Amino acid sequence: MALVSGPGRGGSGGGHTLPEELHLYIDKHVHYIQTLDTRKDEYEYWLTEHLRLNGLYWGLTALHLLGRPDVLKREEVLDFVFSCMHEDGGFGAAPGHDAHMLYTASAVQILATLDAFGDLETRVCGGRMRIGQFIASLQDRKTGTIHGDKYGEPDTRFIACAFMALSLLCLLPIINVPLSIRYIQSCANPDGGYGSSPGAESHSGQIFACLSALSIANALRTVNTDRLAGWLSERQITSGPGVGGLNGRPEKKEDVCYSWWVLSSLAMLSRRHWVDGEALKRFILSCQDEVNGGISDRPGDMVDVFHTVFGVAGLSLLGYEGLEEVDPVYCMPRSITRRILGK
């Protein structure tokens, strides 16, 4: 899936004024995602190769949430996913790229979404266990943190990636879950939020990651719910052009992707109603390119598949009519996580 941005811009940046009554241009977005891979003649297509497997997950998830799960050809998607797999069970962003936690999680999410764990075993002998062992090898047995790859670089995001992938593979117990939970707790800040490592500034993306991992491990009781949810609800912009949108940190600009991370975090804490859902809906809808499809980070900027999936997922979480329900923990269709996890 190409990560090329544009060509269109979200909202009024396209040179036309937005209609009074905003709605989601489902067919336009489907078409936008569908045609991303035909844009190989653009330099940016190749410069974003290091994100290709993530991009495939974003595009596929968006299509499922938009109610068009069959747009991408299953066999072609699987061919690409397996071409990114390494001997050791990890996945790289594209063929020839090193294995990394971020892409391994995307690969497992794609396989889960396509009900392809059977294909995994057929194509790769002992594939499921191999992936599990790759992930387990990245856990620091002293601190519980999870590294992105064999070269180090710990980040709370990778704990979420590991927990998501392992739980979907029904392999969570092969790592030391309580140790990772303790590590996440050590990243809690006085404001109730979490950062990328102990002491690092609270950041909505990292908070999503920590809450996702804690939800999967059934450990949300370790969170100071009211304090964190209070901080998250303060992320909503109350005035100016970005009103209704959510930001990632205090005094930062609103952004569709942060809107998802904040909203899904609040949903995991059962506090979704602590932000103004109608205002947020309007903000996300105003970031659409209503001519060519796609959603941008904020009105006036170029659209891309990353903000498209998080915009659609945010609307789904807000109960937007006509969208499939999203699972706030996995950012995947709820029907799929329910099928796999049985809950």
Partner 1 sequence: MLEKMAKYSNAEEWADIVPIPQDDGPGQPLAAIAYSDDYVEAMSYLRAVMANNEMSERALHLTEDIIRMNPAHYTVWLYRSRILFATSSSLPAEITWLNTIALKYQKNYQIWHHRHTIVDALNSCTGEQDFLSQMFELDMKNYHVWSYRQWLVKRFDLWEGKGELEAVESILERDVRNNSAWNHRWYLVFGRGESCFEDKERVRREVDYAKEAIHLAPQNQSPWNYIRGLIRQTKGPAALSLASFKQFASEFASLDDPDNVTSSHALDLLAEILAEREGDAADAAKALDLLAKKYDPIRENYWKYRKSLLVGQGGVKAAA
Residues that bind partner 1 (CB under 8 A): 40-43, 45-51, 75-76, 79-80, 83-84, 92-98, 100, 149, 151-153, 189-191, 195-197, 199-203, 224, 226-227, 229-230, 233-234, 236, 238, 249-252, 273-276, 279
How many other C-beta atoms can be found within 10 angstroms of the C-beta atom of residue 125? 8
Helices (H), the chain: 26-35, 43-47, 52-65, 74-83, 101-113, 117-123, 127-137, 156-168, 177-186, 204-216, 225-233, 256-268, 277-285, 305-317, 334-341
In the complex with partner 1, which residue's Cβ is closer, 149 or 324? Answer: 149
Q: Under the criterion CB under 5 A, does residue 304 sit at the interface with Zn ion?
A: no
Please report, for residues 94, 234, 290, the alpha-carbon distance to residue 32 in angstroms, rounded to integers and kept in the order given: 22, 33, 11
Shortest Cβ distance from residue 66 to partner 1 (Å)?
A: 24
- Candidates 149, 155, 297, 304: give the one binding Zn ion (CB under 5 A): 297
| Residue 255 contact, options Zn ion, partner 1, none, Cβ 5-8 Å cut-off depending on partner type | Zn ion
Classify 341 as helix, strand or coil: helix
How many residues bind to Zn ion according to rule CB under 5 A?
3
Residue 154: in which H helix or E strand, if any? strand 152-154
Shortest Cβ distance from residue 75 to partner 1 (Å)?
A: 7
Taking every pair of Cα atoms in the chain, the longest distance, rounded to a whole number of angstroms, is 56
Residue 326 tokens read as: 């999203």
In the complex with partner 1, which residue's Cβ is closer, 185 or 224? Answer: 224
Shortest Cβ distance from residue 267 to partner 1 (Å)?
A: 14
- Candidates 255, 290, 304, 327: give the one binding Zn ion (CB under 5 A): 255
Shortest Cβ distance from residue 136 to partner 1 (Å)?
A: 21
